[in-house]
Structure 1
Amino acid sequence: MVSMTVELRNVAGTQAAMGWAGGHTLVVDRPQGKAGGQGLGFNGAQLLALALGGCFCNDLRYVAEEMGCELGSIAVSVTVELDGSPLVTTAAHMQVACEMADGSSADAVIEKAKASCMVSNSLQRGVAVSIEAVR
Structure 2
Amino acid sequence: MKISASIKSSFQLHEVNVETENNKKSISISPKTEGYGSSINGGELLFLSLATCFCNDLYREAAKRNIKIDTAEIIVSGEFGSEGEPAKNIIYKVQIQAKKHSDAQICDLIEKVDKIAEIHNTLRQGINVTLIK
The SS at the match of 1:131 is: coil
Contact 1:72 1:102 in 2 (8 A): no
Runs of at least 5 residues in structure 1 that lack an aligned partner in the other structure: none
Inter-CA distance 14–126: structure 2 relative to 1 (3 Å threshold) = same
How far 1:93 moved relative to its partner? 0.9
Spell out structure 1 runs of 4+ moving beyond 3 A.
Answer: 27-33, 35-38
Identity %: 20
Q: Deviations over 1:46-77 (max 9, x none)?
A: 11000000100011111111212211211111
Runs of at least 5 residues in structure 2 that lack an aligned partner in the other structure: none
In 2, Cα distance between equivalents of 1:92 and 1:31:
26
Is 1:108 aligned to 2:112, yes or no?
no
Once the two structures are superposed, the pairs formed by residues 1-135 of structure 1 within 5 Å of their partners are: 2-10=1-9, 12-14=10-12, 16-21=14-19, 22-27=23-28, 32=33, 36-37=36-37, 39=39, 42-102=40-100, 104-105=102-103, 106-133=106-133
Q: TM-score, normalised by structure 2?
A: 0.80
Q: Deviations over 1:84-112 (max 9, x none)?
A: 33242123110110132425321111011
Inter-CA distance 65–38: structure 2 relative to 1 (3 Å threshold) = closer
The SS at the match of 1:16 is: strand
Q: How many pairs are equivalent?
A: 128
